[in-house]
Amino acid sequence: MRVPPGLTEKDFSQALRQLQEAIGKEWVFSSDEDTDLYRDAYSPFWHEPEEPVASAAVAPDGVEQIQKILRIANDYKIPLWTISTGKNLAYGGAAPLLSGSVVLDLKRMNQILEVNEPNAYALVEPGVSYFDLYRYIQDRALKVWIDPPDPGWGSPIGNSLERGGGRTPMRDHWANHCGMEVVLANGDVVRTGMGALPDAKTWQQYPYGFGPYVDGMFSQSNFGVVTKMGVWLMPQPEAYREITVSVPRHDDLIPFVDTLSYLLNSGITQGTILLDSPLLNYRVAQGGQMLDLPGGPSVAEMERIGRDKNLAYWGCTLHFYGAAKIVDAQWEHTQERFSAIPGATFRDGKSYRFPLQMKEGDGIPRVAFGVPDLSVFGLLQGSSGHIGFSPIIPMSGEAVFESLKVFGQVYAEMNVQPKNQFFALPWSYFPRSFVLLFGFPIEHDVAKNRRTREVFKRLAQAGAEHGWGEYRTHIAFMDTVANTYSFNNHALRRFHETLKDALDPNGVLSPGKSGIWPRRLRREHT
C-alpha cells in the first residue's frame, strides 16, 4: 500500500474510509491499478525510485465534497495534489510533485455554467475540457471562438492556471481569464474580482473588483482549489489572412524583430508567431544544429550557403484576424513596414472567411481557428514523450542571437548533441517577450533521462545567469526554477512562504508546487 509521507498504513486506511464516507466509495481510488493512471506518462524518472506517484485519488462532485476532503486532509496532514483534467504532459501530467500525495481530481466537476455570446465569455468548472466548451458552442451555433492549446483535451482552468498559451489573438490564457471561485485550505469559499459582490452582474466582464487583485495568487500556486473560472472568448472574426516575410542576412534579425514587435504591440498582427530560419533548418537537415555550437559554420559561410541555395536567414508567418477590410489593410501595412529591410521578400499565405466548413485532411490549421484537436501528437510519433524547458527572453534580435549562443555553449560544455532544436527559435505566446520551447526527449532509459535532467538544470542556470527565467516548469524542476527567482536573497520565496503558512498551516495543498513548501516539509526541500 502506498501511503502519504508521515502517515502510517493504519492512519491512512482510516483516512481513506472517512474519504469514502464523505464522497462515496466509488470516487476514492487507492489500488495501484487505479493510481497508476495518475502517473506522468512523460516522467523524466521512468524506472527510478524517485518517480513521484500518488497514494490515492479522490474525485469530488462539487465544492461541498471538496470541503469535506479538506477537513479530512487537514486532520491527518495528507498532502493533496489538485488537477482539473490532469493532461499537463511535458510538465508533470496528472502526477503529484510530492510522492504519496492524494490526487484531488476535479474531472467530475464539468459544468459549463454560462456562455455569453454578446460579451464573449464563458464560466466553467475545472473538469470542462476545451473539446467540451467547443462542442457546447457549436451545438448552439454561437459566434464565439475558444483558444485551445495544441492538445485540446486539457481544460481552460488547468491550462490558464499554468499560464499556458494558444494560437489565436486570445493566446495568453491567464490574461484572458476573468474572475474565479476558490476553495481555501480551511474550506472557505472565496470569489475574486466582481464575484465578491453578492449577485454580481459583471463577474466575467470586469476582472478587478475592489481592493487588492488576488487572482494571480492562485495561478501556478498551491494556495487554493479553483472551482470556477471565467474565460474570455473571441467574437468569431469575418476573415483571416497571413503573409510570410523573409530576410536574407544574419544581422537583418535585429530590424526584423523590431518590426515584428511593433506590429504585435500595435495589434496589427495577432496570434502566436514562430520565428523561423530556412537557413538554420537547412543546416539541421544537413546534420548540423539550430543552436550556435562552438566550431560551427561562421555567419559569412552561412550567408554564402543562403545565397547559393536561395534560402533566407530569417522569416516568419504573420496572422491577421478580423473584418475583411481591416485584415487587408493590416496585411498591406505589414508589407510596407518590413520593406524597410533591404532584400525583404513576401509570400501571400492562406486566406479564409468564417465560418469554415472543415473536412478531414483539408490542411486548415484548426487550433489557430479555435478548434481543439490532438494532431500535435502525430508530430511526436516514435517518441516516448518530452519535457519542456521554456525560458522567456526579450523580444529582440540581440536576445535571439545570445540565446542561441548561450544554450549552444551549454550543450557543448556538457558534450551532448541537442535533439530538440526545432523548438530553439522563439514563439510569441505572450505579449512583449519571446518564449523558447525546448522539448527534451524522455526515454525509458535511466541513464539517458539522468543526463537529460542534468542538461535541463544547467540550461535553467545558464538562462538565469543571463536574466532569462522559465515561464513554467515540470514538477521535477520546480525547486530548481524557483531558486533562480532569487532577487533580494529570495524575497519572493519568503513572501510565498508567508502566504502559504497563513493560508494552509497544515500544508495540505500541493506541497512543493512552484517551489512553495509548507513549513513542516520546508527544511528537507529548500
Ligand X SMILES: Cc1cc2nc3c(=O)[nH]c(=O)nc-3n(C[C@H](O)[C@H](O)[C@H](O)COP(=O)(O)OP(=O)(O)OC[C@H]3O[C@@H](n4cnc5c(N)ncnc54)[C@H](O)[C@@H]3O)c2cc1C
Q: Footprint of ligand X on this chain (CB under 6 A)?
A: 82-92, 106, 126, 149-151, 154-155, 157-159, 161-162, 164-165, 225-226, 376-377, 380, 510, 513
Task: Decide if 218 contacts 180 (C-beta within 8 A).
Answer: yes
Residues in the chain: 526
Catalytic residue among 121, 313, 471, 493: 471
* Spatial separation of the C-alpha atoms in residues 132 and 351, rounded to whole Å: 28
How many CA atoms are closer than 13 Å to the CA of 307, on its beta-carbon side? 8
In the complex, the smallest distance separating the C-beta of residue 343 from ligand X, rounded to whole angstroms, is 33
- 471 catalytically annotated: yes
Cell numbers of 302, please?
552561412
In the complex, the smallest distance separating the C-beta of residue 225 from ligand X, rounded to whole angstroms, is 5
Task: Decide if 406 contacts 462 (C-beta within 8 A).
Answer: yes
Using the minimum distance from each CB to ligand X, give the nearer residue, 159 or 269: 159
- 472 catalytically annotated: yes
DSSP secondary structure letter of residue 290: S
Residue 488: count other Cβ atoms within 10 Å of its Cβ: 7
* Spatial separation of the C-alpha atoms in residues 139 and 175, rounded to whole Å: 27
* Spatial separation of the C-alpha atoms in residues 341 and 316, rounded to whole Å: 14
How wide is the angle at C-alpha 226 spanned by C-alphas 61 and 11, nearest 5°?
60
CA–chain centroid gap for 151, Å, is: 11
- If DSSP codes are grouped into helix, strand and coil, which group holds residue 457? helix
Using the minimum distance from each CB to ligand X, give the nearer residue, 256 or 434: 434
In this structure, which amino acid lies at residue 97? L
In the complex, the smallest distance separating the C-beta of residue 428 from ligand X, rounded to whole angstroms, is 13
DSSP H helices, 373-445, are 397-414
Using the minimum distance from each CB to ligand X, give the nearer residue, 130 or 320: 130
Question: Which helix (H) or strand (E) is 230 found in, with range?
Answer: strand 225-232
- If DSSP codes are grouped into helix, strand and coil, which group holds residue 132? helix
Using the minimum distance from each CB to ligand X, give the nearer residue, 334 or 420: 420
Cell numbers of 98, please?
510530492
Cell numbers of 379, please?
508530430
Question: Which helix (H) or strand (E) is 501 found in, with range?
Answer: helix 487-503
Using the minimum distance from each CB to ligand X, give the nearer residue, 132 or 162: 162
* Spatial separation of the C-alpha atoms in residues 471 and 156, rounded to whole Å: 18
Catalytic residue among 38, 42, 76, 91: 91
Using the minimum distance from each CB to ligand X, give the nearer residue, 40 or 292: 40
In the complex, the smallest distance separating the C-beta of residue 218 from ligand X, rounded to whole angstroms, is 7
Using the minimum distance from each CB to ligand X, give the nearer residue, 82 or 176: 82
DSSP string, 414-451: HT---S-GGGSS-B-SSTTEEE--EEEE--S-HHHHHH
Residues paired with 58 in a beta bridge: 28, 104
Using the minimum distance from each CB to ligand X, give the nearer residue, 214 or 268: 214
Ramachandran angles phi, psi of 264, nearest 5°: -70, -45
- If DSSP codes are grouped into helix, strand and coil, which group holds residue 158? helix
Query: 135 CB contacts (<8 Å, ≥6 apart)?
Result: none
Which residues are designated catalytic?
A: 91, 471-472
